[in-house]
Amino acid sequence: MTLGWIGEALASAPVQHALIAGTEIAFLSGLVGAFVMIRGQSFAGHVLTDVGTTGGAGAYLVGMNGWFGFLSFGVLASVGMELAGGRTRGERDLATGVVLSLALGFGALFLYLDAQLAHANASMAVLFGSLFTLDPALVPWISLTAAACLVAMLLIWRPLALASVNPDLARVRGVPVRAISIAFMVVLAVAVETDALVAGSLLATALIVGPAATAARFTASPLRAGLAGGLLGALLVAASVLLSYDSYTWLPQHTSWPVSFFVAAFTFFAYAIAAATHRVAFQRRAEVELP
């Protein structure tokens, strides 16, 4: 088999932009995801994407770029959730749920109004991603934002790790736990909302949780899990972009399969395989250790 179609894909400007923006943000997502795992914030991460839906739909409504809508609503919601936080995880989830359902309600209204005002494609772009129709002028901004978030993560890495694993000890050691948590939530929001461009607001969670959960099966160190998750995420997104480009020729009716489908399928199966491997390896070790 020749790899001609990959060369052809790489020569196309939209694919280049999609690859650059997609892999950068997937790397950041994997890194952030390592802490989402430790802190048990999968639901919070998911809520941010739904709140982003509202922001994205609202932005289209007033004629702004969707990304700014995603970002502004996501960052606001992340800070709000952190400040409102409940005592236990279940309670926190329920309080989060009420905010979420309110945001979804307004999202429904905005998308409905979008459709009424003849931005018919807006709703699909918000919900299912718009990586191939990315505004080229936005790509450098996405790169810059991703880089800024990476630097922020590296700056707060050690206190964040301590505060995530043992908040009481962190407080005793003089770590500003609250401020660190809020900073982390803002970075998480930026990563999630930019993922929404790649995979759509419905699926952005996959890139945060999937690669990180896969990596967490093999290492307990947040740094190693973060780096491995980031690389895995970037790889999956690159493969998804290329396959989505090629899928146009797969079926007679010539519709390209959405990037978000490939991202979701790859992350799920990566996790399933990792879980199975881990189980087998663990069992073998247990057998060896028995006298």
Partner 1 sequence: MNPFVMFAFPFARHAFLAASFVAVAAGWIGFYVVLRGTAFAAHALPKVGFAGASGALLLGVNSLFGVSLYSAIAALGIGALAERDRRDVATALVLALGLGTGALFLSLGNLYAADAMSLLFGQVLGVSSSGVMETACVSAAAIALVVAFHRVLLFTTVAREAALVRGASNRTADWALLASLGLATSAMMPVVGALLSFSLLVGPALAARHLARRPWQAIAQSIALSLVITWLSLFLSFALGWPVGFFVACLSALAYAAARAISRALGRKAQAGAA
Which residues of this chain interact with partner 1, rule CB under 8 A? 37, 40, 42-43, 45-46, 50, 88-91, 93-94, 96-102, 104-109, 111-112, 115, 120-121, 123-124, 127-128, 200, 202-203, 205-206, 209-210, 213, 251, 253, 255-258, 260-265, 267-268, 271-272, 275
Q: Is the Cβ of residue 175 or residue 215 nearer to partner 1 in the bound state? A: 215
Q: Is the Cβ of residue 170 or residue 259 nearer to partner 1 in the bound state? A: 259
Instruction: Answer whether 116's CB lies under 8 Å from 67's CB.
Output: no
Q: Is the Cβ of residue 35 or residue 175 nearer to partner 1 in the bound state? A: 35
Q: How far is the CB of 163 from partner 1 (least distance, A)?
A: 19
Nearest-10 crossing angle of helices 4-11, 13-39: 90
Separation of alpha carbons 102 and 193, rounded Å: 18
Q: How far is the CB of 206 from partner 1 (least distance, A)?
A: 4
Q: How far is the CB of 236 from partner 1 (least distance, A)?
A: 12
The number of beta carbons lying within 10 Å of the beta carbon of residue 67 is 23
Q: How far is the CB of 182 from partner 1 (least distance, A)?
A: 21
Q: How far is the CB of 176 from partner 1 (least distance, A)?
A: 26
| Cα dihedral value 258, 75, 221, 38, nearest 10 | -90
Long-range contacts of the stretch 57-61 (C-beta < 8 A, 24+): 57/107, 57/110, 57/111, 57/114, 57/122, 57/123, 57/126, 58/106, 58/110, 60/110, 60/114, 60/119, 60/122, 60/125, 60/126, 61/110, 61/113, 61/114, 61/117, 61/119
Separation of alpha carbons 39 and 268, rounded Å: 21
Q: Is the Cβ of residue 37 or residue 175 nearer to partner 1 in the bound state? A: 37
Q: Is the Cβ of residue 142 or residue 204 nearer to partner 1 in the bound state? A: 204
Q: Is the Cβ of residue 17 or residue 46 nearer to partner 1 in the bound state? A: 46
Q: How far is the CB of 271 from partner 1 (least distance, A)?
A: 6
Residue 52 carries which side chain, given as an amino acid letter? G
